[in-house]
Amino acid sequence: MPTTDFAINGKTYAVSIDGCPEFRTGKDIVLSNADTDIVYNQPWYKKGYTSERFLSNEEFAYLKTGLTASVKKIITEELGLDTEGFTLEKYHHFVSENQDHYKVVSRTRDLFSADFNFPIEEMIPKFEKLLGFSLTDMDPKLKEKLHIIVRINRPKSNDYNPPHKDIYEEVDKNDYIPPFVNLWIPIAGVTENSSLPMVPGSHQLSEAEIVRTYDGGVVEGNTYRVRMIKEWGGSHDLERAEVKDGEVLFFSSHLIHGMAINAEEDLTRVALEFRLFKA
Ligand SMILES: [Fe+2]
C-alpha cells in the first residue's frame, strides 16, 4: 500500500495515501505577493503566521463555557447519553464510537448559525485592530456569510486534513486567489502535542517546489476536498503552532498547514476555525 512520511516537531508519521489522485508540481511562480496575500504587510509575513491575544481571561472562559454547554446538549439530544461531569477535554470518554462522533460533528458544523452565540460581529473589530485593516465575514464572491467551524478531534483519531493550502481549490477551479486570512482559535486540549502543524515560510515557495494533488486527497482511507501536499522544497516537516487560551492564530491563506494529529493521550482538542475577508 502506498504511504508517505511527514514529520511533526521531528516525530515521523507514515500515512497511507492509497486512492489519492496523482501528485505533481506546478509552475515556477510564487502565488503569495502584495496583490494576492492580504497579510503581505504584516510584521510576521515572512513566517506566515502569528499568535495574538484577543480575549481576556473572562471572555475566554465565557466562550468555553458556552461551547461546552452546546456540545453537551448535542450529545444528549443525538446520543441520549448521561453527560454528568462533561468537559470538552474529556469528550472522548463520552463519545468513543466513530459513528456517534460523526453524529455530533455533523451538528457542531452548524453550531454558530443554530444555537451557540459566538458574536463574530463583535470580535471582528478586535481582529481588525490586530491586523490594521478592515475585515468582513461576507465572502465577496459568493455573497455568503462565512461559517465558523468547530473542530473536535479526539486523541489519536485520524480525522484531520492532510497538509494543504486553503487557496488551492479556487486557484485550480477558477484561477482566482480569494483575499482572506485564516483564523484558528484554541478552546480546549491545545498543547505542544495537539496544536495545528504549520510549515513556516511555505507561502514563499515556488509552485514548482510543491508536490500536490489537483483534485482532493485520500489519507488513511478518508477522502478530503483539500488538495493534498506531499512535499515542499524537498521537505516533509511541519511545526506545531504555539497558541494559548485567549489567543488567535492568524495565518496566510497561502501557508501549508494540516496533519493536525491530536497526539495527546487523554485530551480531546477543540478549536474554532474560520476565514475573514479583506473588506
Ligand atoms: Fe486549512
Tell how far the Cα of 153 is from the centroid of ligand 1, in angstroms: 15
pLDDT beyond 70 at 243:
yes
Hey, what's the cell of 260?
493536525
pLDDT beyond 80 at 151:
yes
Tell how far the Cα of 137 is from the centroid of ligand 1, in angstroms: 17
Pairing relationship of beta strands 3-8 and 237-240 according to DSSP bridges: parallel
pLDDT in the model for residue 117: 60
Give residue 222's pLDDT band: very low, low, confident or very high (50, 70, 90).
Answer: confident
The pair phi, psi for residue 24, each rounded to 5°, is -155, 165
Give residue 159's pLDDT band: very low, low, confident or very high (50, 70, 90).
Answer: confident
Tell how far the Cα of 42 is from the centroid of ligand 1, in angstroms: 20
Between 276 and 114, the higher pLDDT residue: 276
The pair phi, psi for residue 194, each rounded to 5°, is -140, -5
Single-letter residue type at 227? R
Distance separating alpha carbons of residues 255 and 166, to the nearest angstrom: 8
**Residue 125 exposed, middle or buried by CB count within 10 Å (0-12, 13-18, 19+):** exposed
Tell how far the Cα of 206 is from the centroid of ligand 1, in angstroms: 19
Tell how far the Cα of 9 is from the centroid of ligand 1, in angstroms: 19
Tell how far the Cα of 226 is from the centroid of ligand 1, in angstroms: 8
Handedness of CA 219, 147, 47, 207 (dihedral sign): positive
Distance separating alpha carbons of residues 277 and 37, to the nearest angstrom: 11
Tell how far the Cα of 116 is from the centroid of ligand 1, in angstroms: 23
Average pLDDT, the chain: 93
What are the tens digits of pLDDT across the range 74-110? 999 999 999 999 999 999 999 999 999 999 998 887 6
Single-letter residue type at 119? P
Mean pLDDT of the 39-63 span: 96
In contact, 268 and 188? CB cutoff 8 Å: yes
Single-letter residue type at 137? D
Tell how far the Cα of 267 is from the centroid of ligand 1, in angstroms: 22
DSSP 8-state code for residue 164: B
Tell how far the Cα of 84 is from the centroid of ligand 1, in angstroms: 34
pLDDT beyond 60 at 115:
no
pLDDT beyond 60 at 113:
no
pLDDT in the model for residue 50: 98
Tell how far the Cα of 274 is from the centroid of ligand 1, in angstroms: 9
Percent of the chain with pLDDT over 70: 96
Tell how far the Cα of 258 is from the centroid of ligand 1, in angstroms: 6
Question: Which residues sit opposite 150 in a β-bridge?
Answer: 272
DSSP 8-state code for residue 64: H
pLDDT in the model for residue 123: 86
Tell how far the Cα of 85 is from the centroid of ligand 1, in angstroms: 32
